[in-house]
Structure formats: C-alpha cells, structure tokens
Structure 1
Amino acid sequence: MVPPSSLLGFALASLALIVIPGPSVLFVIGRSLSLGRAGGLLSVLGNALGMLPLVAAVALGIGAVVAQSVVVFTIIKFAGAAYLVYLGVQAIRHRRHSAVTHEAVPLRRSRLRILSEGFVVGLTNPKSLVFFVAVLPQFVDYSAGSIPVQLMALGLVFLALALVCDSVWALAAGTARTWFARSPKRVERLGATGGVMMIGLGGVLALTGNKH
C-alpha cells in the first residue's frame, strides 16, 4: 500500500489543486445555477464517478498510452468540449422551465439523467487524465510493489477530496440560486448564466491543452 507520508503529501498536493477554481468548479457552479443544489450535487457525484474509469486506466497503464496519443487525446478533448457546449445550450433553452419549477422535486429519471451527464463530463475530461498520468506515479513507493493498487488508492483519495470540495461549491451556488429564486426572472437569468458558463468552459477546453 501507499506509505502514509506519500499519501499525506499527495492529499495536500491534490487539495491545493482542487481548491483553486478550475474546469470542474466552473462546471459544478454552472450546473448548480441552472439546476439548483440537488442538480449541482448530482453533477458533482456524476463527475467523480466519471473520473473513476480514468483512474483505473492509469492504474492499469492504459492512461499513459492514451495521454501520449495525439489522435485519441484530441478526440476525447473535443468530445468533452462538445458535450459541455450541448449542456450549456440545453440550460439556456430550458431556462424558463427551470424558473417555473425551481422548487419542484426532480423525478427519479431526471436525477439519473443529471448523474449520467456529470459522468460523461468527468469521463471526457482530458485534463483529469493528464493530471493522473503525470502526478499519481510520483507518489508511488515502487519498492513496496502492488503498483496498480497504489495508483488506484491515490486516485480514490483525489476523487474523495474533489467530491467534498466540489460539493461545497455546488451548495454555495445552489444556495445563491435559491435566494435569487424569489424572482422567476432572476432564476431564468441564472439558468442562462449557468449555460453560458458551460459553453465558455467547453470552448476553453477545446482551444487549450493541445498535444504536440
């Protein structure tokens, strides 16, 4: 297993990265503004679950191959960017419906859909894959053996920390939405703002991080 000192060092390094607002935070805030606290938290959970296959891929050595492949990396990057833009457009299109039903409890099917949408975003985030490939191996004790198990353990630590921190952002943004919900027009604007944030995030993801 991972030595306690390495585990603590990785946790601190991950926390330092996670608390700085980045793509995941912007995605969560955008979803929370559009869907409310419940939708934001479901998006956080889905995003974390979507990163699980990436952690497993790195633990099995597949992640490094994908990260080094220009074609595969580019496909994943643009697929993720396009999906974020799609979610943003949907949020803008349905902003009026969101304003009318902001206090309604989502149906089970809609909750599953929100969760699955977050999963796809987490799965198609190439920046997460690159982070796992570049950082996880640095905290592995190769003399202890069981390298895949150590990599998986480190990845789970990162996901747990991200889950907690992103949930705080989701609750904060969702609370702000609830406060603005006193006016349907404000909720409508917030839903549109969340959509614009996701579209912008998709654009940034598509235009940055090119492989050379």
Structure 2
Amino acid sequence: MFGIHDLALFVVSGLLLNIMPGPDSLLIMTRSATQGWRAGVAAALGIGAGVFVHVFAAALGLSAVLATSATAFTVVKLAGAAYILYMAAGLLMSKKRDDAAVRVALPALPYRKIFAQGFLTNVLNPKVAVFFLAFVPQFISVDAPNKALAFILLGCIFNINGTLWTTGLALFTAKASQRVKLDPSLSLWLNRATGGLFVWLGVKLALAKQH
C-alpha cells in the first residue's frame, strides 16, 4: 500500500525508539511530577506537534538541507542545544518551597508555554530531521508511486504511536508522584539531577556531527 513495506516491523521499531529515554521523556516526566498530568500531556502534545513539522518538512525535501548543508545543520543544532541548556538552568536553579503542601518543583507554567517547550525542543533539534531522513525511507519501496505520501503516512504512524506512549508516560508519572511523597530536599536534588542530565543532553547535541 502506497509503496510501504514491512509496516509491522516499522511500527515495532518506532515504538522501541520512542520508549528510549531522552530529552522528551525527561521534559514530560518533570512536568507531570511537578505540575500534574495535564502539564505532562501538554508537553507530550507539543513534542508531537514538533515532530510533525519534521515529518512534513522531510517529506517535502526541506529537511534534506540539514543533511547536506553543514552551516544549516550547525545553526539549528546550536539553537536547539541552547534551548535545552536554558531549560536545564531552570531545573538547576529550582528552590525549596516553604509551603509544605507544594512539592519542590519547577515554577508552574501555563499549559500553552509547556506545549511550546515540547514543540521547540523538537523543532530546534536537527537530529530529529536527520533521523527521519535516515529511518523512514528504509520502509518505502524504490518504485513507490508517491514517495512523499508514503513518507507522510509512515511519519504520522510513528508520531501518533510516540504521542500515545508519551501521554501514557505523563499519566503514569503523575500518578506515581501522587503516591510516592518525596521529602522536599530529595525532590530538590532530583530536580537538580535532572537539570544536570539536561546539560549533558544539550552539550551532546551541540557537539553532534552532521554525519
């Protein structure tokens, strides 16, 4: 159908790739644990929206620029790394609240801003574009009648499955954080540890090579 082959293998591979921990999972879990499941879902939806940008851009051939132009790749890569480091700074500077009813966490944000965080962490990550260009075409036949349509269809399947996973992750994290009450000092250090991991991810992205 549409020149797509091994669809079941694509779905399983995509799910395994989505389950692998990364900055998306960290953002969702942090927001769910500190602000509730709605905040985590907002982050998940933002991430999904950002991935859709890469899917359609790659299908139209726009993302090929990131794979062939060192300058374009470097500019977008550094912008993405800077944004991840910006979020890391917020985590590292989190403070312990005096209010015992409120767990130590990032300051509460409007859901639209959390959505924007998830969106930008993906749109500003050129590795996502390169990933789609490298992974998705493996499941499209050389003689496919409409390669762009096949690419969009596979990209949508991958992203919808990923969004379902991240939404479930948001719900699970929020539920777990309600049952497991952490000491404020421990919560504070967990936030800082997560911030440190974000620093590592941002530096790793900044140092990523095009090929």
- TM-score by length of structure 1 reads 0.82
Matched-pair contact (CA < 8 Å) for 1:40–1:170: yes
5+ unaligned residues in a row in structure 2: which ranges?
A: none
Matched-pair contact (CA < 8 Å) for 1:81–1:202: yes
The answer to whether the aligner puts 1:137 opposite 2:152 as a matched pair is no
The answer to whether the aligner puts 1:211 opposite 2:184 as a matched pair is no
| Range that drifts further, 55-64 or 172-181 | 172-181
Cross-structure match for 1:160: 160
Cross-structure match for 1:48: 48
Cross-structure match for 2:151: 151
SS class of match (1:145): coil
Tell me the alpha carbon deviations over residues 136-178 of structure 1, each in whole angstroms, 9 at most, x when there is no partner: 1121234341221111111111111111222333334333433
Q: Give the distance between the partners of 1:126 and 1:174, measured in 2 at CA.
A: 30
Residue 87 to residue 197, structure 1, CA distance change in 2 (3 Å):
same
Bigger share in helix: 1
SS class of match (1:62): coil
Q: Give the distance between the partners of 2:194 and 2:39, measured in 1 at CA.
A: 12
How many residues are treated as equivalent by the alignment?
208
Q: Give the distance between the partners of 2:13 and 2:127, measured in 1 at CA.
A: 16
How far is 1:83 from its partner? Answer: 0.5
Matched-pair contact (CA < 8 Å) for 2:3–2:146: no
Residue 111 to residue 49, structure 1, CA distance change in 2 (3 Å):
same
Residue 99 to residue 181, structure 1, CA distance change in 2 (3 Å):
farther
Residue 23 to residue 93, structure 1, CA distance change in 2 (3 Å):
closer
Matched-pair contact (CA < 8 Å) for 2:4–2:141: no
Matched-pair contact (CA < 8 Å) for 2:66–2:126: no
Matches of residues 113-124 of structure 1 in structure 2 within 5 Å? 113-124=113-124
How far is 1:60 from its partner? Answer: 0.4
Cross-structure match for 2:16: 16
Q: Give the distance between the partners of 1:15 and 1:194, measured in 2 at CA.
A: 24
Cross-structure match for 1:25: 25
How far is 1:195 from its partner? Answer: 2.5
Matched-pair contact (CA < 8 Å) for 2:28–2:169: yes
How far is 1:70 from its partner? Answer: 0.9
Q: Give the distance between the partners of 1:129 and 1:168, measured in 2 at CA.
A: 25
Tell me the alpha carbon deviations over residues 13-60 of structure 1, each in whole angstroms, 9 at most, x when there is no partner: 212322232343334334444544332222111111111111111100
Q: Give the distance between the partners of 1:193 and 1:99, measured in 2 at CA.
A: 22
Cross-structure match for 2:70: 70
Q: Give the distance between the partners of 1:4 and 1:72, measured in 2 at CA.
A: 30
SS class of match (2:203): helix
Q: CA RMSD in A?
A: 2.8
Cross-structure match for 2:192: 192
SS class of match (2:209): coil
Cross-structure match for 1:201: 201
Letter in 2 for 1:139: F
5+ unaligned residues in a row in structure 1: which ranges?
A: none
- TM-score by length of structure 2 reads 0.83
